[in-house]
Structures are given as structure tokens and as C-alpha cells.
A and B are shown apart, each in its own frame.
Chain A
Amino acid sequence: MSEYSGPLPVPTPETRPFWEAARRHELSLQRCRACGAHVFYPRAACPRCLGPDLEWRRVSGRGRLHTFTVVHRGARSFPLPAPYVIAIVELDEGPRMMTNLVGIAPDPATITIGMPVEVVFEDVSPEFALPRFRPA
């Protein structure tokens, strides 16, 4: 694996299980035992009911493209060459997350809001795999 030049997360106690699951190529979310809400990003309080009892669950990794942009002027030190696609995916379990859409040309004429997508992990360092999404 070549040296990864992009920003790498430093997990906090709340987020470490997410990144540990990602390293195993599993998408894992918290679910509130009190109100049933799935939660993203990970935290120590349910944003719906403020409950403290959140369990980690592996989720389907499937969802739909909620919105996207084709970035022509890319971020410094980001390893994907521009143009690349930043997407907001709405997971089947409810929460939305930011990601990259890969496996499709970065062309607004071929990418459709609402299209089904699925997670694909990219190992970027020995500790981290990033959850990206591709057309399902």
C-alpha cells in the first residue's frame, strides 16, 4: 500500500467502534435502545431522545444517492484526482452520511439522484478503511 496523502481520522471514544468496523470492511451504526433511531455520526447521546444507551449494529451498507457534486477544484492533498464525486447517501436505515461515489464516471449526465448505491471500503492505511459507495 502506497503512502496515503489524504486526511486520516483520529477516533474519539464515541467513534472508535465505527472505524474498527470499517477496518473489517463492515459498516456499523449506533442504534438507540430507547427510541430505536439509527444514529450517524457516532455519539454518546441519541440525537432524537438524548438517551445514553446506544448499541452498535452492522447495517446493510445499502442506500440511495441523496445529492452529489462533481468537484473540479479539488481539496489540497486529497488523493483522488479531480473531477471526483462527493455524495450524500441516505442509508436504508435512515441516517445520511458524506462519502465519495465511485465506480461511475464523474458526470452529472450519468449520475442520478435517488439511484441505489452500496458501500465499498478502500484500505488507505493499516488502521483505516474509508467507506465509499458505488452504484448497486
Chain B
Amino acid sequence: MSRDVRRLRGRVAIMGAGEADEHGKLPHKSAFQLHAEAARNALADAGLAKDQVDAVFSAGLWMGSETAEYLGIRPRYIDGTQIGGCSFIAHVEHAMAAIAAGLCEVALITHGESGASRIGMPGTRFAPDSWRLQFEQPFGLAGPPTGYALAAARHMHEFGTTSEQLAEVAVATRRWAQLNPRALMRDPLTIEDVLASRLISWPLHLLDCCLVTDAGGAVVVTSAERARDCPKRPVYVLGAGEASTHVMVSQMPDFARWEAARMAGERAFAMAGVTYADVDVAQVYDAFTIVPIMALEALGFCKEGEGGAFVAGQRTAPGGDFPMNTNGGGLSYTHSGMYGMFTLVEAVRQLRGECGPRQVAGARIALCHGLGGMFSAAATLIAGTEVP
């Protein structure tokens, strides 16, 4: 790792964040409309006009430049990095590098996905000569739950993690969702409810799995100097990291340990110069209940194998000492398919103190941690209300 990553700390800030006008099941809207609504709302939040954007970052199954075309923007810096649901967190890191290098000044990062209705979405079938079709699909791989179940089973085998501990994550996240009027799933939920829900892919039950929705989000990143002129409180990027270790499920280096998260988190914390105890609020991608458990271990919030015990006793719920996924997460708020954008939007709102009943009092440092593929990639962002 470069020894001087700390020179990037606080160089850029998120000056605007927004979501599509609505989310849920939206068969009347295309994926690109969700991009556009989110971009419009994020730019309004930043107090900027479209013409002030000179860089567009977007991830999808299409090219990043297609988003720019739809929005009528002619960027001089384009990044379509696609490493799964954490791509947008990685885009903030890439924007930081590009802005610090002087290649662009105002970066618009957008996400729109018609994950439930599949309107205006490219096909997702694997080519018949792809590695995944040749060596994984013939065995009946039934989407992401199957892959994550393979990791959950190995984590349980090595460390004694229990289904009850997985359920703690779903219940704590639902309790946050109950404080968020925009969350899609707000009914009361108990650990027994999670365990009694039908098995999708053992050991994962239905309520261990995220929602599938249509949603969009966007953030605007600019230099710290320029962000001071924005109408709302700038959210400074203190540290960022990303990593990728594999793509195919069978190529995961270690099914009980999330190596990409360890690599990403290590750099983010080194850059930010903060410690785990400094994090006031965490947004940790929760596609499945096993994911935050393995993330907290990999990021160093607890020791290897102790993630299940860490989340027990509703520690991550409202009133617990580790507030996590305060919007209600992918499990209860929304999950379009690439949820990472929503960790950024919620972190901005928490650090600005905009969260109403779910506000974490005095939140000054937030962590966003995203997931890509089958524990394949990770991206970590540490943001703060000031540069320490």
C-alpha cells in the first residue's frame, strides 16, 4: 500500500445526495428514468445545474456513457466501473482520485435499476461459453441466495455461527426500517419469524434475504474547496478503499472470510486515520444476513469468527451501541440489485442530521461498506462532517 494515501484524506466531499422520486415495484418506469430522477434530485440537493457536471460515473449492465447520453451530459471524464453492488462506493474513490489529479471538478455518480420490474434492463443470461455457464450454472445455481448460502454454511461450520445470530441482523434492520417512513418493509419482525420463514437455500431463510425492488440514487462529489459553497453541509471523504478477489462462486479464496472487504477496509481506515471506535454510524451492505457478519469481521470491528456474537442482543438496532443500516438496509428499506448507492445516501443524511426519528445523535463519522458479486469485490468509504 502506498504510504502516502493519507494525502487524499478530506480532499473531496459529497455535496449532494438524492434518490429516485419513488421506489418499490414501478412497472411504469424504466431503469434510466430512475437514474434521471435520482440525478435531478441529487443535483438539486447540491444546488448545481446539470451543465456544471463534468464527470459521470455509473455502473450497470450497460456502458457508463449511456447514462450520460440519457441525461444529456457530455462529460470529459467517464467511469463505468462495474464490480457489482459496491461499484458506486468505488466510484467515489475514483472521483476522489480524478478530482485530486485535476481531471474533473464535479462528479455525478448515478444508479438506477429496475430490479423487480425489469423495465429497460439488458439481459442477464450468461453466454453459453462463459465460465459461469460452463462450470456453475449446470449444477442448478439459483441466483445469489445459493452462493451466499455456501459461505454461510462454511462460516457456521468453522465458527459456530447460528441461524439465530443471522436472524438478529434481519430483526435489528427491520427496527430501523420502522423508524423510516420510506422503508418498504415496516411490519414488526421477531427472530422466531425469521427462523420460521421458508428456506430458500439452507441455511438461508426467506427473511435472511434482501428485497428485490426498482430504485435509484445519486451523489455529487466535488473538491473540498468547492463543496464549501454548497447549500448544505459538505460530507468529507476521509478514506476509501476497494478490492476484488474473484468472480465465480467456486473461486472464492476462503468461504468463511471476506478477503476483498479486509483489503478495502484496510486502505480506507489507513487513509482516514481513524479507528473503529471513531465510527458513529455504519451502513454495511446487507444483501443477506451473513454479509454484515462477515463484513464486520473483515473490517476489524470484531475478531474473525466473532461476527455472530457481535450482532447478538440487537446491538445494531436503534438504541444499540453499534447503529448499522439506519435506513432499514437492503433487508427492509430497498434493494434494487446494486444497493451500495443507498449506503452513501443514508450516510450523507445521517452526517447532516436529516434523519428525524432514526437520526443517530451527534453522528460525525460514518462508514459505508459495499459488496460486489459473491463476496467477490468490496468497497469501503469513511466520511465525516469535518476533516480531523
Say whether A and B bind each other. Answer: yes
CB of A12 within 8 A of chain B?
yes
Are B153 and A68 within 8 A (Cβ)?
yes
How long is the Cα–Cα vector from A84 to B134 in the complex, in angstroms?
Answer: 19
CB of A113 within 8 A of chain B?
yes
Known A66-B255, A70-B202, A71-B201; judge A9-B150 contact (CB<8 A): no
Q: B128, B140, B149, B157: which contacts A10 (Cβ < 8 A)?
A: B128
Are A97 and B134 within 8 A (Cβ)?
no
CB of B154 within 8 A of chain A?
yes
Known A86-B140, A113-B154; judge A69-B202 contact (CB<8 A): yes
Chain A positions within 8 Å of B251 at CB level: 41, 96
Are A75 and B141 within 8 A (Cβ)?
yes
Q: A11, A99, A113: which contacts B129 (Cβ < 8 A)?
A: A11
Chain B positions within 8 Å of A84 at CB level: 140
Instruction: Name B's A-contacting residues (CB within 8 A).
Output: 128-129, 131, 133-143, 145-146, 149-151, 153-154, 157, 198-204, 248-251, 255
Q: B131, B134, B139, B153: which contacts A99 (Cβ < 8 A)?
A: B139
Chain B positions within 8 Å of A130 at CB level: 138-139
CB pairs A–B below 8 angstroms (23 shown): A10-B129, A12-B129, A15-B134, A67-B154, A67-B157, A67-B255, A69-B149, A69-B153, A69-B203, A69-B204, A70-B199, A71-B142, A71-B146, A71-B201, A72-B201, A75-B137, A75-B143, A86-B140, A98-B141, A98-B249, A98-B250, A100-B140, A132-B139
Chain B positions within 8 Å of A108 at CB level: 153, 202-203
Contact residues, A103-136 vs B (CB, 8 A): 108, 113, 124, 130, 132
- Interface-centre pick from B153, B198, B255 (highest chain A CB count, 10 A): B153
Are A72 and B198 within 8 A (Cβ)?
yes
Contact residues, A39-87 vs B (CB, 8 A): 41, 66-75, 78, 80, 83-84, 86
Chain A positions within 8 Å of B140 at CB level: 6, 71, 74-75, 78, 80, 84, 86, 100
Are B203 and A88 within 8 A (Cβ)?
no
Q: Which 10 A-B pairs have the closest CB atoms?
A: A69-B149, A9-B134, A67-B154, A70-B202, A78-B140, A75-B142, A10-B128, A10-B129, A98-B250, A72-B199
Closest B residue to A124 by CB, please name it: B138
Known A66-B154, A69-B150, A73-B200; judge A98-B142 contact (CB<8 A): no
Chain B positions within 8 Å of A98 at CB level: 135-136, 139, 141, 248-250
Are A96 and B150 within 8 A (Cβ)?
no
CB of A8 within 8 A of chain B?
yes
Are B142 and A97 within 8 A (Cβ)?
no
Known A41-B134, A67-B157; judge A88-B141 contact (CB<8 A): no
Q: B133, B135, B201: which contacts A97 (Cβ < 8 A)?
A: B135
How long is the Cα–Cα vector from A58 to B138 in the complex, in angstroms?
Answer: 21
Chain B positions within 8 Å of A83 at CB level: 202
For the A-B complex with A75-B142, A75-B143, A108-B203 known, give 15 more contacts whose Cβ atoms are closer than 8 Å: A9-B128, A9-B135, A11-B129, A19-B134, A69-B202, A69-B203, A73-B200, A74-B140, A75-B137, A75-B141, A83-B202, A97-B135, A99-B139, A108-B153, A113-B154
Output the least CB separation between A71 and chain B (Å): 5
How long is the Cα–Cα vector from A26 to B266 in the complex, in angstroms?
Answer: 44
Closest A residue to B250 by CB, please name it: A98
Instruction: Name A's B-contacting residues (CB within 8 A).
Output: 6-12, 15, 19, 41, 66-75, 78, 80, 83-84, 86, 88, 96-100, 108, 113, 124, 130, 132
- Interface-centre pick from A9, A74, A132 (highest chain B CB count, 10 A): A9
Chain B positions within 8 Å of A10 at CB level: 128-129, 133-134
Output the least CB separation between B291 and chain A (Å): 15
Output the least CB separation between A15 and chain B (Å): 6
Are A69 and B146 within 8 A (Cβ)?
yes
Known A69-B150, A72-B199, A72-B202; judge A88-B250 contact (CB<8 A): yes
Output the least CB separation between A70 and chain B (Å): 4
How long is the Cα–Cα vector from A15 to B132 in the complex, in angstroms?
Answer: 12
Closest A residue to B157 by CB, please name it: A113
Closest B residue to A100 by CB, please name it: B139
Are A96 and B153 within 8 A (Cβ)?
no
Are B129 and A9 within 8 A (Cβ)?
yes
How long is the Cα–Cα vector from A132 to B140 in the complex, in angstroms?
Answer: 12
Chain B positions within 8 Å of A6 at CB level: 138, 140
Chain A positions within 8 Å of B137 at CB level: 7, 75
Known A66-B154, A67-B255; judge A8-B138 contact (CB<8 A): yes
